[in-house]
Amino acid sequence: MAYELPTLPYDRSALEPKISASTLDFHYGKHHAAYVTNFNNLVKDTPLDSLSLEEVIKTTYNDASKVGVFNNAAQAWNHTFYWNGIKPNGGGEPTGPLADKIVADFGSFDAFKTAFKQAGATQFGSGWAWLVLDNGTLKVTKTGNADNPIAHDQIPLLTMDVWEHAYYLDYQNRRPDYIDTFIESLINWDFVAEKFAAAHA
């Protein structure tokens, strides 16, 4: 059961000038596509081929003989989640129960933004910053390389890709500028709220 590269939820130029079409051509068209291809090749004709990406992530995490499978499964999943968590003219602030929960668990929306920025800025090398639900509490975390909150029994609600291929064509070495733009102008809070609501369904 081959996993297919999901269609982007917007045109490749829709995020300009925040994220360029050139970045999406490489990031989605090359990197994300390669993770999907590699994953399918690695699990073909194995018992893992019938599992969902989430199941593969949980099954192969910390299995030294399945590092390649985990990395490609997690990266395929992470990227799809990342694309859905951003949108043209995004940013702003969440509303409703999600907004209330952010204030309850972080103290304020600004405190959340500070924590999220710090997670992205201090992730050494490649990785991800996340907003997750951990035993009912919202937390900001960061993971290296392909690592994913699903492997740690957390529920991901939002992620920011801080691998260099996510921003280098547009921001060069200015990761903090990319992070600020991500938070202020790209986050799809409707998507985050949907994930938050689903976790409480």
Q: Which of 43-52, 78-87, 187-196 bottoms out in mean pLDDT, i.e. has the lowest?
A: 43-52
Mean pLDDT score, 172-180 = 95
Element (H, E) at 32: none
Q: How far is CA 117 from CA 131, 141, 160, 182, in A?
A: 11, 11, 10, 10
Domain edge (last residue) among 33, 52, 84: 84
Mean pLDDT of the chain: 96
Domain edge (last residue) among 63, 84, 105: 84
Return the percentage of the chain with pLDDT > 70, whole number.
99
Is pLDDT at 201 greater than 70 in this prediction? no
- Same domain for 191 and 125: yes
Structure tokens at 11: 């045109």
Determine, yes or no, domain membership for 3: no
- Same domain for 100 and 190: yes
pLDDT digits (tens, 9 = 90+) for 9-31: 999 999 999 999 999 999 999 99
Q: Which domain holds residue 53?
A: 21-84
- Count the domains in the chain: 2
- The pLDDT value given to residue 21: 97
Determine, yes or no, domain membership for 9: no
- Same domain for 173 and 129: yes
Mean pLDDT score, 123-139 = 96
- Same domain for 109 and 64: no
- Same domain for 187 and 101: yes
Is pLDDT at 92 greater than 70 in this prediction? yes
pLDDT digits (tens, 9 = 90+) for 40-81: 999 999 999 999 999 999 999 999 999 999 999 999 999 999
- Same domain for 193 and 103: yes
Structure tokens at 149: 């909150």
Binned at pLDDT 50, 70 and 90, residue 198 comes out as: very high
Domain edge (last residue) among 31, 61, 84: 84
- In the sheet that 137-144 helps form, which strands lie side by side, from edge to edge? 137-144, 127-134, 155-161
Is this prediction's pTM over 0.75? yes
- Same domain for 142 and 75: no
- The pLDDT value given to residue 38: 97
Determine, yes or no, domain membership for 91: no
Determine, yes or no, domain membership for 16: no
Mean pLDDT score, 163-190 = 95
- Same domain for 108 and 47: no
- The pLDDT value given to residue 2: 81
- The pLDDT value given to residue 171: 95
- Same domain for 112 and 171: yes
Return the percentage of the chain with pLDDT > 90, whole number.
97
- Which parts of the chain are beta strand (E)? 127-134, 137-144, 155-161
- The pLDDT value given to residue 1: 66
- The pLDDT value given to residue 200: 80
- Same domain for 135 and 46: no
